Chains A and B, each alone.
Chain A
């Protein structure tokens, strides 16, 4: 018992705690009126927050402390209204734009915001008045009404279809869930006028549609007739009887019907005249139908007086009329294989199966009758549509009949002409064109009467043989289409043959496409010839199988690697085109496209490079140049021949025959000037005096001719010496004369002395040459010790070479000497001494030096700048260059004068001069 009391006390304590805590914690300090408002958009909404009295006293609150918030945004206090100490209201202009929730808050102790209450505001519209209410009765009792509910309310809105008779209200129709625009009444009574309307209701109000009043019988759509069957009659092949069952529980006394029918393959219906089916019935016989043709029927019904609506069409039902004999003869044609020998031919007869509309039944067999030739009538029954007969070359007549269960067709007759028959009278103006996805053929008939036309066609291909299909047309036909399985993008060869009483006429053919397409590939273009500024392109026509249409034109696209593409249109009949102008030495890329009416296709790209020069251009340059060179060479050679002596004189100067030489008489008394005219001319100043010159006369030793090998050696030596720049003797170089140390180069020790003290001058005077007998041939030696004047140092005055190494006779090398001289002049005197030493000591190096010299000369000639500069420097220094040049000119003058005077070219034989006088060579 104590335990029980203890348990009760504990339970009561817990209950009190929970009640006090729960109630105290969860009890709000106020509430908002209204609790769950539904507000229409663009309307003013006012909410009132009412504070609880206990809270007011406990927390010392006042309605002034109320704050209104929408979500987290404070409502401006201008919209507040303090109603009294415990209540404050807020007025919102457009809640739909502000959102939800709306909360009432209060500031505790002036700063702590406490939420008192919150409400969710639903925004929506009152229902609009339903419009366009209409009803229809399906069958007998089902009535479906529809209406337009208007705009979405965004609130729970109910729609109720109400109806009543004048004497009572009928049961409301409530649409199924999520349907607000229609309702179906399960049972409706016809022949009673009723009012129908819709009432839409939501929390913002309700609204009714306009009432409509009608007798449901006027809006009945009956169920269609059913169990429709079609039966044929054996007696009459052109009728079918249609039977049906009228809809159950029809509300009407009388019905009327629409019966429509069509052939099975047709799409258009034929309607039986309505006046024939305006009364209640359950069958109807349709007449004037085609034999052995399947027809499809469909029926609908409605109130005979026109109340309500037509029912839907019934399910389709079909039936086939009974057979009749074929209405047309089969299309009939033939071909002849003349390969049979011995007066026979192979006749291939062929015919088409009759279309269903003409066969009027199932064709059981064909009957072929052949007449003519040497045989009697030949008749054969066959199920196939072809027959091969071996006939003679005589003309024949063949007829064909098609048989079905009812009878046979009219015969189709062909005349097979004899072997010698010549066809004639063709059709004209044959054209073929695609239209409406068919390939049409049109022609102009011949003037002669035609029995029929045969159209044959086949795919025109490069690879496939022509396997013709054919069709027959009547004699009045001028335009027809090919009734075959034609393919697109294929070229068809169409032949039209008129058929006359005596046989076929001449055929005429035309090519056509059912539908063209771009070519399968483009032409392969290549170059036939490439020139500097043009290229000849060639290609081949596309095979028919690749054309896919009539090639209307070609387009050639060509471009350089960096340039824009250029297009050239070319007629489809061409297979060659010349591209021009092109840029020389340029890589071109060219491709070609072939176009049909439906588009084009590019061929592969082909590249070629134009040459830098046109054909023959190089020849045109090279040949004239070569000719000019050759001509120049010839002229040079001719000139050389003409001037052989002159050239020879320069290249191979005449060497005096030593065998005819003699030692000249040394005669100191012989005046030296008299026999040396040139020298006189060269030195007109005439600084020399007889008294100053000693003449030594030397007799040539004729008995010591110089051996040939020795001559050559001597010449070689002289040449080397000349190369070294040493010269002396006859025709001595002015260079030598200008080089003072060279005079005594053979004796260095003496040269130093002579240079510093006295120099003996001498003059060599020819004592005789080639039978010329100079009056006096002496070497004159000057006894004077006076220093030489510049004018006296001229080579003409320094022809005495004391050293045998310094040969004379360098006239053929005048030019060389001149250059060499210049170099010598550039060089200081010391170089002359060194050269002299080299000549005298190491002849082996002469070749090398010669070559070096020549190379140096060549460089001098080619460039000329260096030596010329040096030359100018030197001449500027001692005014020597001009005199050197003048000396060269004078040498030439001497030569010419000598030749003129002596009647033969004057030559100089290189001589070896020893110390103390000339040594005969």
Chain B
């Protein structure tokens, strides 16, 4: 739980989470929580698009680093152990409105950010020598934080959305090593798959 909190705490907009819940909560545009530390600047759409491209470009590499770092049987049974089979992954509708896509993206990134936090924690313990993997995990996590920042700004600035309900993956701290690796590999496989779709949608 402590680890989970550590992964969730960076999120600015954390609402109550219910496993399987996908619909956003009502948006209160004039919510005083839209007040930022300073005013949002820059071309947010451009920045979000490029951040998605960054993630999309690095996702395969991250996935490769990961399963290579886990060793056998992951390298030999990639399809079974690392298939993108994550049941509670937030949905994304590429044909939705811009606002809906931003909200769904926010949920996905929040989900991934929390999961990457768990994976990073587990891999530091399981594969402390896998420096490329750990480095790439840190970079990806940092990029996702930036993306969440931009999404928050975009939702608040343009759509005055101050609250978005998000969901998180399972806590792996109590899992065994194989399960940790397996859940991580599933997630990164899913991430590689989803981020490609999302990047194309923006």
| A residues at B contact (CB < 8 Å) | 141, 164-169, 187, 189-193, 195, 211, 213, 215, 217, 249, 251, 253
Contact = CB atoms under 8 A, between A and B. Distances in A.
A213 B39 CA distance: 10
Q: Is the interface of A mostly helix, strand, loop or mixed?
A: loop
B153 interface: yes
B104 to A, nearest CB: 19
B41 A141 contact: no
Contact of A167 (B37, B41, B46, B48): B37
Contacts of A187: 138-139, 142
A215 B37 CA distance: 16
B58 A249 contact: yes
Contacts of B146: 165, 189-192
Nearest to A253: B53
Contacts of A217: 50
Contacts of B41: 193, 213
A167 B42 contact: no
Given A213-B38, A215-B42, A249-B139, A167 B153 contact: yes
27 contacts: A141-B139, A164-B37, A165-B37, A165-B149, A166-B36, A167-B148, A167-B149, A168-B10, A168-B37, A187-B142, A189-B143, A189-B145, A189-B146, A190-B54, A191-B47, A191-B50, A191-B150, A192-B51, A192-B146, A192-B149, A192-B150, A193-B40, A195-B38, A213-B41, A215-B42, A249-B58, A251-B54
A368 B53 CA distance: 69
Nearest to B40: A166
B149 A168 contact: yes
B145 to A, nearest CB: 7
A792 B139 CA distance: 171
Q: Interface majority SS on B: helix, strand, loop or mixed?
A: helix
B12 interface: yes
A165 B51 CA distance: 15
Given A167-B149, A167-B153, A191 B37 contact: no
Which 9 residue pairs of A and B lie closest in terms of their CB atoms, listed nearest first? A166-B36, A192-B146, A189-B146, A193-B42, A191-B47, A167-B12, A165-B149, A193-B41, A167-B149
Contacts of A192: 42, 47, 51, 146, 149-150
Nearest to A192: B146
Contact of B47 (A141, A215, A253): A215
Interface residues of B, number: 28
A168 B40 contact: no
Given A166-B36, A168-B12, A253-B53, 16 more contacts: A166-B39, A167-B37, A167-B153, A168-B145, A168-B149, A189-B142, A190-B54, A191-B47, A191-B48, A191-B50, A191-B51, A192-B146, A193-B40, A193-B47, A217-B50, A249-B139
Nearest to B144: A189
B156 to A, nearest CB: 9
A167 B152 contact: yes
A168 B11 CA distance: 9
Contacts of A190: 50, 54, 146
A213 to B, nearest CB: 6
A49 B46 CA distance: 67
Contacts of A211: 38
Interface in B29-84: 36-42, 46-48, 50-51, 53-54, 58
Contacts of B48: 191
B38 A164 contact: yes
Contacts of B148: 167
Contacts of B139: 141, 187, 249
B152 to A, nearest CB: 5
A666 to B, nearest CB: 182
Nearest to B150: A192
A607 to B, nearest CB: 91
A192 B12 CA distance: 15
Given A191-B51, A253-B53, A166 B142 contact: no
Residue in A165, A192, A217, A251 whose Cβ sees the most chain B Cβ within 10 Å:
A192
A191 B48 CA distance: 7
Contacts of A164: 37-38
A254 to B, nearest CB: 11
B97 to A, nearest CB: 23
Nearest to A191: B47
Contacts of A168: 10, 12, 37, 145, 149
B60 to A, nearest CB: 13
A166 B40 CA distance: 6
Contacts of A141: 139
Nearest to B157: A166
A191 B51 CA distance: 7
Given A191-B47, A215-B42, A167 B58 contact: no
A252 to B, nearest CB: 8
Given A195-B38, A215-B47, A166 B138 contact: no
